[in-house]
Structure 1
Amino acid sequence: MSISLFRESAAASGCARLRASALTLAVFAVCSAQAQDGVIVVAQNLRAPSLDDVVVTATRTAQPLTDIVADVSIVDSETIAQAGATGLVDVLARLPGVEITRNGGVGNSSNVFLRGAEGRFTAVYIDGVRVDSQSTGGAVWEQIPLSQIDRIEVLRGPAAAVYGSDAMGGVIQLFTKKGEGPAAPYVGVGLGSHQLRRIEAGVSGAAGEGGAFDYALGISHERSDGYDIRDSASHNPDRDGYRTTAGNARLGLKINAAHRIDATLLANEMKSGYDGPKYTPADPEDDQNDNRMHAAGLTWSAQWSEAFSSRVSLTDSVSRYETTPSYYLTRTHLRGYLWHNEYRLGAHLFTAALERREDQLTNDPIDRDRSQDALALGYGFHAGNHTLQLNLRHDSDSEFGSKNTGSVAYGYAITPTLRATASAGTAFRAPTLYQRFSQYGDASLKPETGRNIEVGLRYASGASHAGVVAYRNRVSNLIIFDGTATACGQDFGCYNSVGRAEYKGVTLSAGHRVGGVTLHGSIDLQSPKDLATGRQLQRRAKRYATFGADTQLAGWTLGAEVQASGRRFDNAANTQVLGGYTLVNLYASTRVARDFTLLARVDNLGDKDYQLARTYVTPGRSLYVGLKWAPH
């Protein structure tokens, strides 16, 4: 069977080709499922689920993937290792339901949309540590180093009943490597396009009786001369490169059979070039970003009995962003306290948690803080053909008062390989401190609220998986920057919470092994809409898709990826078109000696000229070659 690829322009004919290609990939998914077990469904996750997979993001409780009702994808360490010289958001963009934007290349302002929802509607955690910006809202993605990440879990759909404020579109959990077994050192080097140079090193393992003490340490440095990221008429035509140094430490101590302590730390400093709005050829300025972040956590886990366990966590994160010579500085400091309890009784799981979050923003002249205290209750049931998950959470904000959220999810196994699911939930996000207290802020802004419903059909058997998920998420009190608002006294406009949005769509994805080739793909058909105007929300396509294939041949791992997107609009009025695009990426790896692995990767093989944000240039064709020493 041939799989047609597509390339779309802003013209209507391009849309037709995109619809045709989407149909072709959907047919591929159906036929793959039919060939395996005679079941006609379309798929869910990036890779085939395994009964051994354990997911913690869905309910904050470690659960087998087979017990999860939520829409979850997993990115494992092997997939991350094959990412080459790309950033974290590039890896996420290859997952179902995920779109990205970026103002140029790696190191510049980035954003992630889950199911079309605003970037600030995704709660992001690193080893259980919440990271966020009270200036822009949402995680500052360019601050998070992919080189230190070992595993990613992506939960699509609101999860505020578990995580509180912000989880209106979903949750993304990033995990660093955990040590186990004998000491395992590694050293890696790499070279790539735009004079990219990379070096990394680390060691992980376990020591003591029964591996009571485990450790994982890593450090990396990467720099690139970059390229000119703008194509506007007036900008500095210099190269906008970057350099970044990151490190992480993850330590665990098993005190005895019932008690364990874990400590984690991830830190990164990145400096990158950008082109500011003002440019004077006679006196050009070299605009620079300075991003710094850290995420630290300390956790005590206790198994008090066979049925009852608890976990106490203290977390601390900082997101700092500075620009020069046009000076700007913003710093967000988050502290978190969590006491999570679980009680298992046969097929029943009861959870209860007390949580406190403290936010502080320093952004001259703003120096403000706030706090949220919460009680979260959960009930899970899994037996026979039935899976049920109920969650209820009460948040008390130091400025907005109380907010209640809840969710219910149910799954029914029609056959051992086919399951239907349905869920509904409410969510909210409190306005950022910048949206309330900056010169463009309005202290009377209300929290954004959302209501979501979704249904799914999922199939998994051996190396094959398939599914379809349909969803609708409606948001009220949507905070927008309103150029006509005057409450803040600024002629340019103010933040306003009068917007309404709807994110609805269908996600199809499939995976199947044919001979020695593993195939996977996904298609998203969505309608992210501003309900006040009826227009498509900015920088989000109505159709986008991914497709991948990999195989083993003569000692090599060979793979190909295709990413495609329909047209988007760069402005709320839908007058500035960002054309559709199709990208082809290739990668290959092999062991060149006993302990050495060679990786080669080409991104955007066809050197496609496309934009994720208007007037910002993407890298074009890029090559990366890396060599890693890791004794076995």
Structure 2
Amino acid sequence: MKVPFSHAALSMAVAAAFSSPFAFAQSQAEAPSANQARAPELAPVVVAATRSEVPITDVVADVTLVDRAEIERSGATTLAEVLTRSGGIMMNHNGGPTGTTSVYMRGAETRFTSVFIDGVRVDSQSTGGAPWEAVPLSEVDRVEILRGPAAAIYGSDAMAGVVQIFTREGASGLQASAHVGLATHNTREVGASLRGGNDSVRYAVGLNAERSDGYDIKLDSNPDDDGYKRQSFSGRLDWTLSPAHVLGVNALVSQLDSDYDGFTDGQDDVASHDLQTVGADWKATWSDTYKTRVSVTQGVDKYETDPSPYKTKTDITSYLLRNEWAMGAATLTADLERREDRLNNASTTPESTKRTQNALALGYGLRSGLHTLQLNVRHDNDSEFGGHNTGAVAYGYDLGAGWQATASVGTAFRAPTLFHRFSIYGSSDLKAEEARNVEAGVRFRQGANHFKAIAYRNKVKNLIDYVAGPGDCINGSGDYAGCYANVGLARYTGLSLGGGSRVGNVVLGATLDFMNPENLNTGMRLPRRAKTQANFNASTDVAGWTLGGELEYVGDRYDDAANTVKLPSYQLLHVSVSKPLGDQWKLRARINNLTDKSYESVRGYVTEGRTLYVGLVWEMR
């Protein structure tokens, strides 16, 4: 892989970051803010890597944890912005914070990342991939990001990685908070949350409403502002029947209406995006060595446009029985899982289509002395095209003095969406997309200093592409403009650097990614993906104020598969401040794109210029 070091400004920034020892961070969770205590704390626990609670320091995979405090310090307004700040992830959207959003983990297609909200799988059987623009950041308490294929744990979709999103949980006593905010484009936001409980019952609820006049997203179309409005709710209830048995239910509802310029000149359309998740789980500890978890979940993604007639709805229902045995320094897991997908779309034949996947997954984890080992195998049986086996091996070796070397190999697959198979553009002969990934890296952790360097190669065959021109699709008429087919072969190679350090009262963090997402059939770079991406951030406390700055760099990209339409590189500077106002109030402000940089992530769609957000937060003490 050729690493482009030709960008002088980027090289200077990298040099500046390395001027402080170990100035790159493994994860935001391991780099405390300037106003946090320096006393050592227990390593945070994550579930994304293995589907079990594991200290992040015992994880071999490339995992990042972003908690609520870090989200608020960043000033991010969308979940996609939180992800890109963490490194190894690129975001594109068709104008505005609520436009159709694509997230490319390690350069891979957006449908290759599995997404879960409180354990509920979220996906679209129409477009493929999670509806990122519909996930309300206001309801998110923390995010876990697992990079690299994980189909041997999660099944179909986890070709490039997994994102686990968690809303707020209950707490002892009573805790309440509220916030209001104003921003550019006459954006208004108001929200509140309530958490409480006792030793038997704990609960958490959150409400948020947001409205914006927006701005003109497509200058060459209808000349008007394209606004949006969103209402969201999240709730969780946990009931402790005994110390060994806990029942829980959770739900999230997000309703988003976004204006956009229709296909007809002068026509305004509204895109309505409804996202709903609901789940119930029972956690049981049967002995010191054996415990189980049973869960039933459903995720619903509904998208509709008006007056242009389009409507699609995806329902994903999952059933999971997880068994976990502790065997000294080792842990053995066995999962039985069933997934039911249903798509309602007027472009499919029949209009309502469905399929099922039944799976058995086994896992083995060992943490002993200098060695960390994770083994996973899984068999999925799909009602459409039969069985599929996946596996993964990950190993870490402690080199001493805070250093660890890691290596892993794994396979993954993504079943074609129901739209791919049964729409007027589809084919029932489509095969599953398959991936084979290898990676190796080194990591350093010592106090506030963290560093990682991970090289990877992920090769995908049977890549589903849309082939333009008349074709014999599922309906056999050949009257449509093209068909989906297994014609693609892609390779995603890259080097991820990241880390963080505290220098005096200043907390530094950075990520730097060199990527080469390549179409092996044509030798061209995959569209809308850069070869170089970086993020540098710093925060400090001055006279009672917390000050933060962030520099974001994205290299040039091509807007088309033929690599003829280039999108220039860009750099964005963001700044933020916050200050406590007494014991219960806090003022927050952020300016995004301070220099008012004009840039595009998708050709023809205008991105926001300089924007200002000012918010006031109240928290019960």
Q: TM-score, normalised by structure 1?
A: 0.93
User: 2: distance between equivalents of 1:606 and 1:261?
Assistant: 50
Which residue number in structure 1 is paired with residue 555 of structure 2? 566
Q: 1:257 Cα shift? A: 1.0
Match among 60, 71, 85 for residue 69 of structure 1: 60
Amino acid of the structure 2 residue aligned with 1:237 = P
Match among 503, 507, 512 for residue 496 of structure 2: 507
Match among 222, 243, 247 for residue 229 of structure 2: 243
Q: 1:22 Cα shift? A: 4.1
Q: 1:510 Cα shift? A: 1.7
Amino acid of the structure 1 residue aligned with 2:206 = G
Amino acid of the structure 2 residue aligned with 1:337 = Y
- CA deviations over 1:64-83 (Å, ceiling 9, x no partner): 01110000111110122235
Name the SS of the counterpart of 2:8 in structure 1. helix
Which residue number in structure 1 is paired with residue 256 of structure 2? 270
- CA deviations over 1:87-135 (Å, ceiling 9, x no partner): 1111211111010000001121001000000000000000100000000
Q: 1:32 Cα shift? A: 3.0
Name the SS of the counterpart of 2:20 in structure 1. helix
Amino acid of the structure 2 residue aligned with 1:478 = L
State how 1:499-538 maps to structure 2 within 5 Å.
Answer: 499-538=488-527
1:175 aligns with 2:166: yes
Match among 356, 366, 375 for residue 390 of structure 1: 375
State how 1:42-57 maps to structure 2 within 5 Å.
Answer: 43-48=25-30, 51-57=42-48
1:291 aligns with 2:280: no
Match among 302, 312, 335 for residue 317 of structure 2: 335
Which residue number in structure 2 is paired with residue 9 of structure 1? none
User: 1: distance between equivalents of 2:394 and 2:179?
Assistant: 44
Are 2:25 and 2:501, in contact at CA under 8 Å, matched by a contact in 1? no
Are 1:378 and 1:391, in contact at CA under 8 Å, matched by a contact in 2? yes
Which residue number in structure 2 is paired with residue 39 of structure 1? none
Which residue number in structure 2 is paired with residue 348 of structure 1? 330
1:457 aligns with 2:439: no
Which residue number in structure 2 is paired with residue 468 of structure 1? 453
State how 1:124-163 maps to structure 2 within 5 Å.
Answer: 124-163=115-154
Which residue number in structure 1 is paired with residue 339 of structure 2? 357
State how 1:383-422 maps to structure 2 within 5 Å.
Answer: 383-422=368-407
Amino acid of the structure 1 residue aligned with 2:177 = Y
Amino acid of the structure 1 residue aligned with 2:511 = S
Match among 528, 532, 535 for residue 543 of structure 1: 532
Amino acid of the structure 1 residue aligned with 2:454 = V
1:586 aligns with 2:575: yes
Match among 606, 610, 618 for residue 599 of structure 2: 610
Are 1:452 and 1:472, in contact at CA under 8 Å, matched by a contact in 2? yes
User: 2: distance between equivalents of 1:23 and 1:609?
Assistant: 22
Are 2:4 and 2:514, in contact at CA under 8 Å, matched by a contact in 1? no
- CA deviations over 1:134-164 (Å, ceiling 9, x no partner): 0000001111100000100000000000000
User: 1: distance between equivalents of 2:31 and 2:397?
Assistant: 18
1:187 aligns with 2:173: no
Name the SS of the counterpart of 2:70 in structure 1. helix
User: 2: distance between equivalents of 1:103 and 1:540?
Assistant: 15
Q: TM-score, normalised by structure 2?
A: 0.95
Which residue number in structure 2 is paired with residue 432 of structure 1? 417
Name the SS of the counterpart of 1:274 in structure 2. strand
Q: 1:503 Cα shift? A: 0.3
Which residue number in structure 2 is paired with residue 314 of structure 1? 296
Are 2:31 and 2:500, in contact at CA under 8 Å, matched by a contact in 1? no
User: 2: distance between equivalents of 1:299 and 1:17?
Assistant: 49
Q: 1:18 Cα shift? A: 5.7
1:202 aligns with 2:187: no
Which residue number in structure 1 is paired with residue 36 of structure 2? none
Are 1:85 and 1:192, in contact at CA under 8 Å, matched by a contact in 2? no
Name the SS of the counterpart of 1:161 in structure 2. helix
Are 1:520 and 1:547, in contact at CA under 8 Å, matched by a contact in 2? yes
- CA deviations over 1:248-286 (Å, ceiling 9, x no partner): 00111111110001111000101011112221xxxx322
Are 1:485 and 1:495, in contact at CA under 8 Å, matched by a contact in 2? no
Are 2:296 and 2:317, in contact at CA under 8 Å, matched by a contact in 1? yes
Q: 1:206 Cα shift? A: 2.1
User: 2: distance between equivalents of 1:287 and 1:401?
Assistant: 41
Are 1:45 and 1:96, in contact at CA under 8 Å, matched by a contact in 2? no
Amino acid of the structure 2 residue aligned with 1:270 = L
Are 1:49 and 1:460, in contact at CA under 8 Å, matched by a contact in 2? no
Amino acid of the structure 1 residue aligned with 2:321 = W
**Number of residues of Structure 1 aligned to a counterpart in Structure 2:** 603
Q: 1:485 Cα shift? A: 6.1
1:227 aligns with 2:215: yes
Amino acid of the structure 1 residue aligned with 2:595 = G
Q: 1:607 to 1:17 in 2, by over 3 A?
A: farther
Which residue number in structure 1 is paired with residue 362 of structure 2? 377
User: 2: distance between equivalents of 1:555 and 1:396?
Assistant: 58
User: 1: distance between equivalents of 2:527 and 2:115?
Assistant: 22
1:304 aligns with 2:292: no
- CA deviations over 1:224-269 (Å, ceiling 9, x no partner): 000000133xx11111000000000011111111000111100010
Q: 1:594 Cα shift? A: 2.1
Match among 203, 206, 216 for residue 204 of structure 2: 216
Q: 1:28 Cα shift? A: 4.4
Amino acid of the structure 2 residue aligned with 1:571 = D
Q: 1:85 Cα shift? A: 6.4
Amino acid of the structure 2 residue aligned with 1:320 = K
Where structure 1 has 5 or more consecutive residues not aligned to the other structure, the ranges are 1-14, 36-41
User: 2: distance between equivalents of 1:16 and 1:307?
Assistant: 51
- Most deviating of 22-31 and 396-405: 22-31
Are 1:33 and 1:466, in contact at CA under 8 Å, matched by a contact in 2? no
Q: 1:509 Cα shift? A: 1.1
Are 1:439 and 1:490, in contact at CA under 8 Å, matched by a contact in 2? no
User: 1: distance between equivalents of 2:552 and 2:338?
Assistant: 40
Name the SS of the counterpart of 2:242 in structure 1. coil
Q: 1:574 Cα shift? A: 0.6
- CA deviations over 1:538-557 (Å, ceiling 9, x no partner): 10000010000000111111
Name the SS of the counterpart of 2:391 in structure 1. strand
Are 1:47 and 1:511, in contact at CA under 8 Å, matched by a contact in 2? no
Are 1:46 and 1:96, in contact at CA under 8 Å, matched by a contact in 2? no
Which residue number in structure 2 is paired with residue 261 of structure 1? 247
Q: 1:512 Cα shift? A: 0.5
Match among 55, 70, 78 for residue 79 of structure 1: 70
Which residue number in structure 2 is paired with residue 496 of structure 1? 485
Are 1:243 and 1:270, in contact at CA under 8 Å, matched by a contact in 2? yes
Q: 1:115 to 1:398 in 2, by over 3 A?
A: same
Name the SS of the counterpart of 1:220 in structure 2. strand
